[in-house]
Each structure stands twice: as structure tokens, then as C-alpha cells.
Amino acid sequence: MSSNIDLKTKKILITGAHGFLGKHLVRNLLEKRNVPKENLFLPAFQDLDLTKWENCQKVVEGQDIVIHLAAKVGGIGANKEKPGEFFYDNIMMGVQLIEAARQAGVEKFTALGTICVYPKFTSVPFKEQDLWNGYPEETNAPYGLAKKMLLVQSQAYRQQYGFNSIFLMPVNMYGPEDNFDPKSSHVIPALIKKVSEAKKEGRDYIEAWGTGKPTREFLYVEDGAEGIISATERYDKPEPINLGSEMEISIKDLVELICNLMNFKGQIRWDSSKPDGQPRRCLDVSKAEKEFGFKAKVDFEQGLKKTIQWYEK
């Protein structure tokens, strides 16, 4: 029953529009989809805290489509430090926003999940049907499970109310305009910042967390934005969908690649007292291609170069 929604004719609410992914998604809608600017509602977190019910009611009023990107997110350190906040803020925003959207008669809701919803030990590549085969990795379980409840809610609302809500599970995104704050950034921006500062300060080493053994998959943010928009236009089913790039790289190889691209010849010191997180991450992304024709385009090394250039500027 896949219908192709013409976004140009719709009023679209984007939560988290001023964040890293949000900026790229808005740009795609304006430049590639030619959505009129006045059709986009882009509230900032400072003005409307979506953990409050009345704000959720306010933002969905008169909207046709909701793309819910807003989230409290961070790397392993932030997840370990604030598990309660990560659980509460993410679940309250999502659950209330979906309910408010249903009450307001919103035509379609795109809920953004995360790769952290998968069990800690999942056979690689991760397939959507393995989602419930175990508990998520402990360091990010509160965040992952809060997001996972939006899938349960989406499916329940579709069943009971015929509400068209879809659930996407992207891998870590990276690219220009990423969050480089060491307290909350993910691995790629954190490493770029470390190498850049070591070079500036003339240090001949950097410190990296963990053992370097775990693997990760990364998606260039422009590809990620395209995947989310394509799904919003063309995907209308209850099953969750992976969004990724089909690449897998160990943290050790990632650190070496970034050092190499930034021309840093120093030593890498591994702090194995710090957590590694999930042992492996790599998605099966065949479903996204089959259902709405999405395939990542940007080569990982090219994407890294663009991210480094942006940061160094």
C-alpha cells in the first residue's frame, strides 16, 4: 500500500530541526524536494520543551507530517553519566508526541529510532527481525529502550487507530556540522577533535577509549537525511527499517584512518579502563532499498575528509 507522498503540498513539523541531522534534513527538503519554507515548522528546544504534554499538543496542531528527530543523545560517556535523563526525556518526548499527533489527525509520523535498540549480541549483519532477541548493550540500554518503545507505540497505534507511523533505525551519522563537544559527542567528532588538539599542542600521542576491537558502521549525514525523507515519502508499513551504509570498521582502524587523513604521526594510547560498548555493529540494509529505494552513496573516506575539512575551517 505504498503511496508516494508529495511533501511540497504538506505542512511538516520537524522536531530537532536545529540539531546536526535536522539541519541537513531541512536543507534537503528545501533544496532537493523544493518544499516551500513556510510549510516547515521548525521549533527550537529552547522555546518548546517536548517532554511537556501541552507543548506536544501545540506543535502538532495543523501539521500533516511529523518527522521526529529530537532526542537526548551522546556517546558512551554521556550515556553512562545520564541514563535516567536519556531514558525519561526520550520516552516522554516520543510517546507524547505520537499521541498528540494521533489526536490532531496528523497524516503520517516518522519516528527516528537508533541502532542502540538492538540486543548487545546480535548476529551480524543486524536484521530487523532480530530486534527482540535480547537486551541492549548496558551502556546505552536506557536510551535504546526508550526509543524502542516508540516502535511498540507506532505498531499499536497502527493496529488500533489506523495511525500511519513508521520507525527507522539509523546507525551513527557523521559529517559537517556534527557535535564536537567532548562531553556529548560520538566517536568520529570526538577523535577528530582529539587529533586536531594534539597537533595544535605539539603532543606526540592521543588517548583513545577502550581496546579498539569493537566495530561500528557509519552513515554520512546527507545520506541519512535522504533515507529518512525517502521513507517518509514512500514507506507505510508497521515493520521497523534499518538505515545504514553496509560498511563495518573497527575502532582501531577508524582511529588510524583519522590520524592518517589528518597527517598525525603520533602514538595512539588505548585506555582499556574505558568501556568498549557493543562488540560489533553492522546492519543489513536490503529492506530499505527494497521498500523505498534507499542506498547510501557517500564513500566513508570521502565523508571523513569532508567532516575533517569542515572542522578545521
User: Looking at the annotation, which residues are catalytic?
Assistant: 143
Q: Which residues contact 141 (CB under 8 A, 6 or more apart)?
A: 83, 116, 135
| Cα of 5 vs its chain's centroid, Å | 23
Cis check for the bond before 125: say yes or no (omega within 30 of 0). Answer: yes
**Which bin fits 16, alpha (ψ -120 to 50), beta or left (φ > 0)?**
left
CA–CA distances in Å: residue 15 to residues 110, 137, 159? 11, 27, 25
Count CA atoms within 13 Å of residue 226 on its CB side: 16
Determine the Cα–Cα distance for residues 115 and 119; give it in Å rounded to an integer. 9
CA distances from 255 to 37, 87, 214, 249 (A): 40, 30, 12, 10
Q: Which three cell numbers stand for residue 200?
A: 595544535
Residue 227 CA: distances (Å) to CA of 101, 230, 254: 22, 5, 24
Contacts of 35 (CB under 8 A, 6+ apart): 7, 8, 10, 12, 29
